[in-house]
Structure 1
Amino acid sequence: MKTFLNALIICLIMIPATLMAQSTVSGTVTDKANAMPLPGVNILVKGTSRGTSTDFDGKYTIEVNQGETIVISYVGYKSQEIVFNGQATVDVVLEEDAAQLDEVVLIGYGSTTKQDATGAVEKVGDEEFNRGAIVAPQQLIAGKAAGVRITSGGGAAGEGGEIRIRGGASLGSNFGATNDPLIVIDGLPIDQRGGAQGSRNALNAINPADIEDFVVLKDASATAIYGSRASNGVILITTKKGSANQPFKVEYGLQASTRSVTNTVDVLNAEQYMQVVTDNGGDTSSFGGANTNWQDEIFTTGIGAIHNITVSKGYERFNFRVNLNHVSQEGPLDDLYERNGINTSFVHRFLDNDLKLTLVAKGIQDEYTYANEGAIGAAISFDPTQPVFDENGNYTQYGTSANLAPANPVFLLDNNNYNNRQTIKRVISNFNVDYKFWFLRDLRLNVNAGIDYAENDGYVFSAANPNNSGGVPTNEVSTGLNRNTSLDFYLNYKKDVESIDTKLDITAGHAFQEFYIKSFVDRVSATTLTDTDINRNALESYFARASFDIADKYLISASYRRDGSSRFSEDNRWGSFPGVSVGWKMTNESFMDNSFFSNLKLRAGWGVTGQQEIGQNYGYLGIYTPSRNNAANIQFGTLPNGDPIFFQTLRPEGFDEELKWEETTQYNVALDFGLFNNRLTGTIDAYYRETEDLLSRVPVPAGANLTDLLITNVGEATSRGIELSLNGIISQTENFGWDTNFNLTFQDVEITKLSLSDDPNFTLPTGGISGGVGNNIQILRPGYDPTTFFVFRQVYDDNGNPIAGSYVDVNGDNQITEADRQAYKKATPDAFIGFTNNFRYKNLDLNFTFRGSFGNYVYNNVASDRGNTNAIVNQPGYQANGHASLLNTGFTNQELFSDLYIQRADFVRLDNISLGYTIPFSKMTLRTSLTATNVFVITEYDGLDPEISNGIENNFYPRTRDIVLGLNFTF
């Protein structure tokens, strides 16, 4: 202890002595090309840990000793070293480094430069992300990339979003293979069906503030290197790792937010309700004396906070970054999502930088407190004349004579009546070895080992419906385990062969990945259920790619992947996925020397990709499922006390021995261009895609199999589209900057075959709706989009009012039957856009993003189910509220299949707007910001929200408007 105290005293004496020996140096760093100041430039005293970075005006201050060397470095510029000889001011002019300016993009098991990419590859970096209190990482790039559509699942806490790249190539998870893209995080492909049980979003484990960039691989020539899982595109996520020779930096960010719903379902108020009941002979004695807006009662203003503390440092051979993240987000139903995470990255270089080791490790605990979303439907239908509490202070209920009546919506949200919690502990880690061979400098080995491991524990308690005399509460305990392990390696050879003026880039490797899922549920309700389920599947792959850049003009790239999946039998296990692409850098031709184009590249590609995410692992095997509760067991005898003895039964499951890959062939042609010294850049991209052997769940004839619905290869589909992307630097001066991005996508999807025979009229019903049992409003049919609606055509009177129960007799047989239903409109948009602008004036910045969708329709199921008088006065033992559309239609009965409820849902939404101000201090930089999300939407759709992924609005959790105050400190 004495030694420690002595050492401490010596340090305390030496520190001021050292400071007195140092001199303070200040200066400004500018760009040689335009004399503009450069913010964020790294200033480091060589051989020490002393360093700083320039502020928004390019200014810096640092303590330096006589004779020490100041190193000035900035991405995209040549580094400089200046020896300090007592100067009070050291101004620095940095020159662009042409070798670094050609942006590097990942392409899967390697990288290329943007100008040498021949596939449809789009990169969205940190500086382009949407701002605000973003929890789901996919929301960072909503509206940012052509051909990529991201649809939020609603306003629930921790809610994710659906990602569609070029519309998807499959029929969707309800009928077989998923349309979700493959997502790769730092080289680790995650499970396409979700990374952890009980989570609202598979990507929630990734802190959005920890993401460096997204790279979207869209066409088959780019995605074929991922083979079996790439039919719906690939998204590569790279997390931040710091950089070499970076001064010690501490960052703290706080985002405090409020969340509130922007719209509610249009239902009858108390006065309208009483009038409808009275006019239709209802029970007026049941009226209460209140005028309760039940939706206002259940929806509150949620608050949230996101904290990020980041420490990073870069030495010549070692750099690290550590981020601590805490998220607390409330939903308007008083649901809650909390995340605590630590995100670390360590990079070390050995052997004169020939060996590079990278370790990325993330430890996350997600906690969900789910609200009873049944309260949304109850709020729409509960009697508006009733108060929340009766005269005794108890929740107002209909009473036990109305067994099927909804419970009081506020009662459903009470923690004493509903408690649903889920805790997920997850580790995502990747270890990468990159080694350049000493005996062949152009050859390198890359080894990547990763694991995604998650455990979840859940508990659900749901009280019995107080209106149901025979109702019983539900108690459920669940646990689960997800383990995803991956190991891949590849050799990469890059060589500039001057004799033939060609650059070679050749890659070959092997990958293996295994998924293990175990779940356990113990449920006690009307019956007792104990269920343990174990699933396991694996992929083994061999892949290769060769790229040639000939004379810096002509580009050729070819890839091949051979995949084996345990989901298919040995006869169908292996699939082959080739891809070829070419490019022509026309601006490098002599005849383009005087062209006004600063960049012009024509490229084209072809490739085959696969799909094997069918939601089951043993579909080709004849397996047996044991019964799981006494209702399905068989009784044999009794115990001495008279209790029955039950024995489990084994139920054979349906299977298809010939189950095999779904394969997609895609053609792509594109033109990349740049004008005005690349102040205006853009891409026009066109694609055509054919999918064969669609994996779908289809009916099979009675006795033909052990089930009446079987997942099998059944169909074909085609899709086509055109994508336009424009990026402009409109102004770039010392005090003012303005850049913009616009992207426009046209798309079309059509099923061309859908049965084991070639029946062109074969139809599969889909799109389940409320109102009756087993009703569907959409169909899968050859010649139509997979989200097409299937309806009767409504007949109207001379005044344009719908005539109840009157539909067009399409086939002319003088009766209205199922044969008169027609395929009509679709939920998939014909086109969608994104439009972003970024402004900077001195220390002030403003950015906003609009998104739009056109040609899509939504079926208003709330109106079709509740917009009739029978929904109000003809309920068993009670009266319920109805949808306000009843006041216009006057319908007595449900008209579930009328095209009246298929409504145009074009929209333009101001998705994100952020205003920020940066305040530079001598030792710290402070940035304040105010952000709003989902600011407004322009649409003709009169329902809750025009943006619903499956096109069916029914008890949808409303999206929220978030107002976010941000504070970011950098030391």
Structure 2
Amino acid sequence: MRTFKKCVAGTYRGSVRYTLALLLGASYAGPMLAAPLPIDVLQVDRKVIGTITDESGETMPGVTVLLKGTSLGTTTDIDGNFQLNIPEAQLGNAVMVFSFIGYEQQEIPLGSQARIDLILKSSVSVLDQVVVVGYSSKKVKYLSSSVATIDNKKLRDVTSNELPNLLQGKAPGVVVSTSSGDPTSAARILIRGAGTISAGTTPLTVVDGNIGGSYNPVDIENVTVLKDVAATGLYGSRAANGVIIVTTKSGQPGKTKFSFNNTLGFATATTGKFKLMDAQQLYDYQSTFYDRDPSVVNTNTNWWNEAFRTAVVNNHNLSVSGGNEKTTFYISGNYYKEQGTLVENDKTGYNFRTNLQSKLTDKLTAKVLFNGTFTKDNYANSNTLYDAYNNMPFDPAYDEDGNPTDGRTYPDWQGRDRENFLHSIQYNYSNAKSLTINTDINLDYAITDELTFSTYNRIYFGNGQSASYNDTRTKQGGANGGELYNGSTYGNRLLTSNRLRYEKDFGLHGISLLGVAEAEKSYNSSASSSGKGLPPGRDVMSVATTVLSNPTGEYEQVMFRKYLATADYNYDNRYFLVGSVVNEFSSLFGRNNPTANFYQLGASWVFSNEDFLKDNKTLTFAKVRVSNGTVGNADGISNFASLGLYSISQAASYSGLPGAAPSQKGNPDLTWEKIRSSNIGFDLSFFNRIDLVADAYVKEASSLLYRQPLAATTGYSYVWVNAGSVRNKGFEFSLTSTNIKGKDFSWETNLNMAFNRNKVLELSDGSEVFNSGASQPIAVGHNMDEWNMPIWAGVDPENGDPLWEKITYDANGNAVKSVTNQYSEAQTADSRQFTGKSASPKFTGGLSNTLDYKGFTLSAFLNFVYGNTIYNGSRFYFDNDGLYESYNAMVLADGWNRWEKPGDIATHPKPVVGGNKDSNQTSSRYLEDGSYIRLRNIRLGYSVPSQVVNKLGFNAISVFVSGDNLWTGTKFSGPDPEVSLTQVNQSSGVSTIRYPISKKILFGVNFSF
């Protein structure tokens, strides 16, 4: 052992991998090592050299290189290089053995080789991963809470500059959905179902140990999703909807490393089963009910193709990392630009990050983290998307000279809105710019070996500007002689989190105590102005500009304060207990109830460490987890929700002067939503190849925050109250299987699924329903996203009339169901019904497969949603049975047909000019199955052999080709079945004039040196 330490320490001091080797000795490498045998002892016949790298292309110092069956060996130097002299007597059947802690040992026959370059693959199992959870780090197998961890490799298969898009389908219980393919529109995340009426459902984000923060996806090392209350509760009120912990990359001691990663791709809009009619199809259809001149078919404009384009995606990142024993650094710069598939729509982002860590003394460690992001968004013109669906193919996009036509002046324009977006977008625009800066200063001081004080501090600044301009030459700006809208925002946020931690092992007992005092103050301000009467092309307001609407402005401050105490105990790495209490204050709530207390409890038992399972070769790891506790929700309500507010406007003017009128009634008793959650879970590993994580949970939210409308006679518009309770319960699992693990070939599969059921248990004041006239009212005993509307009863086969269900009551009070062709009778309070269909999926999930063969990696990832129902509101416009003869129409989906003659059994009523008895009004007619399965990504990569790479002066070179959203299987009749699945203003599961997501083909090349 002394010989080994002398050899290694003398050459590779300062290496992280050396430190691990020094701590553990040579036991992990098999036979004891010795220093390389001197040349004067053995007759040298061959010198063998090479370089060892890991799967990411980083060189590996401290790797053991051994001639099998002998004590002859060495280790790689700081650059991952080795040199070993093999005596002639040993060359016959020489086999080289390469090993390092946490990596698979490899044996390579020497043969005639004089150089061996090798990539070592990680052997750390999922259960041995260290994750950040609740102000601390632990191995997964020792957790008592429900978490999911996704490393950067699994995140980066999909190309996006938004983390929610990268998380889609990667973790059970984490539902990611988007209502738009616009790159400036972020997806939404919902963890374990919605449990609120008017408050927010967005999970809390924690970046590098502090609440909030900004980051770029390329700088993420891993993401940990906390789902049960034992983990989330430690972060306080804003963690009621789950927690997403982002850990960014850091430098490692050793040689400075440069990485340059590049992606270039192309995107096109998905169309699914959806198709609009061309000129001949539309003419043939409309001729059945409308007298149109046959000459209109001489023009056949495809407005969809005019509106959408092949877009370009660019993503380029340069990072530098390194350091020494005391100080490490990671510096990264990123440029991202994604064109929207809709014309004149794109997102551009610039990001710069610096992570510095230094051990200032033996007791004091400091981290300084800086992240700056500048973003430019060009928003899609709303008319462009609307016209792409509804403009008629009979109208020309360009005149004879190739210039965009103006629908207002073009003779014989057929479309209702007389609008050509191609004309408008020449002059109009809507855009925004923002700059955000986050700086963290974190200090850890070891008071004793067991007691540590830490202070984590963050300051945030954000500035934003927006502008929307409608030129006087366009339809949008013509009425006011040109319009300009300007807005500006500013925000800052100060956070300090001070932590005292005590950790001690007493034989088989281990205890960790943590106390946290945290305070946060946010300030935000905004201003807006608008003007009219601007000369053509002059998008700046001046003293000559007329006020379009009065300027507005606001500023506000919000404060949070939290005290946390937690205790964590384990016995012999078999039994684990954790408990915590949280007291939190928020200025959002009324003066009578601004604070609240919450608790969290968790326990787990690693029963595979018991004697009766210790040597079991089938069940190689087994743990059961339970947790229970409470947490509060303050997310999503207005900053002055508890106060009585007045609105100052011209509407309340007196004698020509602006006046104030009541708008919001105050509620000094307004307080936190309270969520009680229980979880039971199992972590099982079979044959060290199959890992199963399964959880069942119940989550009940009470004192729900609700913006309650008030009758006009009260003098107020609304009041914020605590009202009712909602329950979510479900089951989720993740199954990871190493199907094949050979020398040159491996195959891994992961399947995750989540099942959730939602139910309203109670509403305040004994109410049975809130928002009774809405399509998704909140009603006791029903799912929060269940559809309630007139029930479509099909088409009358005799005359082609639309039919709906009608409910009346007989003399005994019994409900009598019949059908009617009068929509007014179907939409009464008695006739509107709960459909039994919901926007909430019955289950969601993802399936991935990764295959490695030598330097090639092939991965495929599918995500799926099942059992949700979408309201396809777009059909109101282009599937309207003749109401809008001046709009285009959709080609009927397979299995649909229109009524033509008596006796026809049809899905669509007889088309009539002006519409057929309100057949396109809101009803269950437009409810469709929203289930889908999508090939979210397929990727083929190749890592160039190290012997070739080294000759070029690089550490690693890899290339890849990737495809996103290449195929979707669905019954939905629109272009894209993916819609928002979060409860936002009662609009979950609605598809209206949809900006579809895009298919992407991407190419990439990555270098490190």
The offset of 1:896, in angstroms, is 2.2
Q: Separation in 1 of the partners of 2:919 and 2:166? A: 41
| Match among 984, 987, 991 for residue 953 of structure 1 | 991
Q: Separation in 1 of the partners of 2:399 and 2:57? A: 63
The offset of 1:951, in angstroms, is 1.1
Q: Separation in 2 of the partners of 1:234 and 1:208? A: 17
| Match among 178, 183, 187 for residue 152 of structure 1 | 178
The offset of 1:652, in angstroms, is 4.9
CA deviation string 1:735-782 (max 9, x = no partner):
11111211111110111223x31132x23158xxxxxxxxx5322211
> Which letter does structure 2 place at the counterpart of 1:115?
K
The offset of 1:382, in angstroms, is 1.5
The offset of 1:867, in angstroms, is 1.4
1:805 and 1:895 in contact (8 A); partners too: no
Does residue 915 in structure 1 map to residue 940 in structure 2? yes
> Which letter does structure 2 place at the counterpart of 1:250?
F
1:372 and 1:412 in contact (8 A); partners too: no
2:595 corresponding residue in structure 1: 574
1:228 corresponding residue in structure 2: 237
The offset of 1:415, in angstroms, is 3.6
The offset of 1:734, in angstroms, is 2.2
CA deviation string 1:526-580 (max 9, x = no partner):
8323011112211000001101101321111001110000011232000111000
Q: Separation in 2 of the partners of 1:377 and 1:97? A: 53
**C-alpha distance 469-238 of structure 1, shift in aligned 2 (>3 A):** closer
TM value normalised by structure 1: 0.84
The correspondence of residues 68-467 of structure 1 with structure 2, limited to 5 A, is 76=102, 102-171=128-197, 176-190=198-212, 206-243=215-252, 245-263=253-271, 265-282=274-291, 284=293, 287=296, 289-333=298-342, 334-352=344-362, 354-391=363-400, 393-399=403-409, 405-411=416-422, 414-416=425-427, 418-437=428-447, 440-463=448-471, 466=475
1:836 corresponding residue in structure 2: 848
Does residue 928 in structure 1 map to residue 950 in structure 2? no
Does residue 26 in structure 1 map to residue 49 in structure 2? yes
The offset of 1:809, in angstroms, is 3.5
> Which letter does structure 1 place at the counterpart of 2:552?
D
1:908 and 1:937 in contact (8 A); partners too: yes
CA deviation string 1:116-161 (max 9, x = no partner):
1001111111122241432112222221111111113422124321
The offset of 1:29, in angstroms, is 4.9
1:659 corresponding residue in structure 2: 670
**C-alpha distance 155-75 of structure 1, shift in aligned 2 (>3 A):** farther
The offset of 1:813, in angstroms, is 7.4
> Which letter does structure 2 place at the counterpart of 1:621?
L
Q: Separation in 1 of the partners of 2:633 and 2:677? A: 14
| Match among 859, 881, 895 for residue 847 of structure 1 | 859
Q: Separation in 1 of the partners of 2:299 and 2:887? A: 15
> Which letter does structure 2 place at the counterpart of 1:40?
E
Q: Separation in 2 of the partners of 1:312 and 1:53? A: 14
1:669 and 1:685 in contact (8 A); partners too: yes
Q: Separation in 1 of the partners of 2:127 and 2:720? A: 50
Secondary structure at the aligned position of 2:233 is classed as helix
Q: Separation in 2 of the partners of 1:721 and 1:153? A: 25
Let me know the Cα RMSD of the aligned residues: 3.4
Does residue 792 in structure 1 map to residue 790 in structure 2? yes
The correspondence of residues 602-613 of structure 1 with structure 2, limited to 5 A, is 602-613=624-635
**C-alpha distance 799-505 of structure 1, shift in aligned 2 (>3 A):** farther
> Which letter does structure 2 place at the counterpart of 1:505?
S
Does residue 674 in structure 1 map to residue 691 in structure 2? no
**C-alpha distance 285-237 of structure 1, shift in aligned 2 (>3 A):** same
The offset of 1:901, in angstroms, is 1.1
Q: Separation in 2 of the partners of 1:657 and 1:140? A: 42
CA deviation string 1:240-268 (max 9, x = no partner):
0122x232111111100111101175333
CA deviation string 1:409-456 (max 9, x = no partner):
43365241x21121101102211111211xx31111111001221101
1:739 and 1:838 in contact (8 A); partners too: yes
Unmatched 5+ residue regions in structure 2? 1-46, 64-75, 85-97, 106-113, 533-546, 809-814, 819-824, 899-907, 981-987
Say which is worse superposed, 802-811 or 894-903, in terms of deviation. Answer: 802-811
**C-alpha distance 37-688 of structure 1, shift in aligned 2 (>3 A):** closer
Does residue 559 in structure 1 map to residue 580 in structure 2? yes
2:728 and 2:757 in contact (8 A); partners too: yes
**C-alpha distance 285-935 of structure 1, shift in aligned 2 (>3 A):** closer
The correspondence of residues 489-888 of structure 1 with structure 2, limited to 5 A, is 489-498=498-507, 501-525=508-532, 527-595=548-616, 596-627=618-649, 630=650, 633-636=653-656, 646-649=657-660, 651-676=662-687, 678-704=688-714, 706-754=715-763, 756-760=764-768, 762-764=769-771, 776-796=774-794, 803-809=801-807, 811-812=815-816, 816=826, 817-824=828-835, 825-873=837-885, 879-885=886-892, 888=898
2:147 and 2:225 in contact (8 A); partners too: yes
1:769 corresponding residue in structure 2: none
1:642 corresponding residue in structure 2: none
Q: Separation in 2 of the partners of 1:618 and 1:631? A: 22
1:793 and 1:822 in contact (8 A); partners too: yes
The offset of 1:294, in angstroms, is 0.7
> Which letter does structure 2 place at the counterpart of 1:323?
S
2:371 and 2:437 in contact (8 A); partners too: yes
1:607 and 1:665 in contact (8 A); partners too: yes
Q: Separation in 2 of the partners of 1:757 and 1:787? A: 22
Q: Separation in 2 of the partners of 1:127 and 1:219? A: 25
**C-alpha distance 865-894 of structure 1, shift in aligned 2 (>3 A):** farther
The offset of 1:26, in angstroms, is 3.0
**C-alpha distance 765-295 of structure 1, shift in aligned 2 (>3 A):** farther
Q: Percent identity among equivalent residues?
A: 24
1:420 and 1:461 in contact (8 A); partners too: yes
**C-alpha distance 41-519 of structure 1, shift in aligned 2 (>3 A):** same
The offset of 1:684, in angstroms, is 1.2
Secondary structure at the aligned position of 1:777 is classed as coil
Does residue 40 in structure 1 map to residue 58 in structure 2? yes
How many residues in Structure 1 have an aligned counterpart in Structure 2? 869
1:773 corresponding residue in structure 2: none
2:390 and 2:887 in contact (8 A); partners too: yes
Q: Separation in 1 of the partners of 2:933 and 2:846? A: 9
2:536 corresponding residue in structure 1: none
Secondary structure at the aligned position of 1:591 is classed as coil
The offset of 1:275, in angstroms, is 3.4
TM value normalised by structure 2: 0.81
2:524 and 2:555 in contact (8 A); partners too: yes
2:591 and 2:668 in contact (8 A); partners too: no
1:918 and 1:927 in contact (8 A); partners too: yes
The offset of 1:666, in angstroms, is 0.3
> Which letter does structure 2 place at the counterpart of 1:836?
S
1:3 corresponding residue in structure 2: none
